[in-house]
Amino acid sequence: MTQETDLTPEEDWYTEDVATFGDRLAAAREAAGLKQGELAKRIGVKKSTIAAWEEDLSEPRANRLAMMAGVLNVSIRWLLVGEGDGVDAPQEGESTTDADLLAILQQIRDIRTRMKNDLEQLAKLEKALRKKL
């Protein structure tokens, strides 16, 4: 993280600076004891849709977001930005420090951001190429 905050590692574990929507969705689903297929069935989508949301490849519409928040017993705001009623941070493991885990999560987020940007650039190039054909 580039900014210093007054939050403890437990409080900022799922914030926008550390985790993505997909990270928070997966954590809430696991905390609720649900598998992807079970959550999908409860909100009326395919398992692959849940997987895509958790991998930050797509995002749910507002109605599905509200349904998920209710099923998972977290606030919509927490799912979106990590603020409000959500799940507690994972307990610290003996062999891995919070700083190590935060660094890994930040690297994952950076990779996802680069991938998203690359996909957007690829789509623009493909569109430009189609116009020329």
Give the CATH number for residue 92.
Answer: 1.10.260.40
Confidence at 4, pLDDT banded by 50, 70, 90: very low
Q: Which domain holds residue 113?
A: 9-132
**pLDDT value at position 101?**
78
Instruction: Report how far Cα 114 is from the mean position of its chain's Cα atoms.
Output: 15
The number of domains in the chain is: 1
In a domain, 65, yes or no: yes
Q: Is residue 22 part of a domain?
A: yes
Structure token digits, residue 34: 């649900």
Contacts (Cβ under 8 Å, ≥6 apart) of 72: 25, 28, 29, 31, 32, 34, 39, 79
3-state per-residue secondary structure call for 56-84: CCCCCCHHHHHHHHHHHCCCHHHHHHCCC
Q: Is residue 4 part of a domain?
A: no
Per residue in 111-122, pLDDT (tens digit) is: 888 888 888 999
Residue 86 lies in a domain: yes
Q: Quick check: is 58 in a domain?
A: yes
Taking the model in full, what pTM does it have? Answer: 0.57
Residue 3 domain-assigned (yes or no): no
In single-letter form, the type of residue at position 31 comes to A
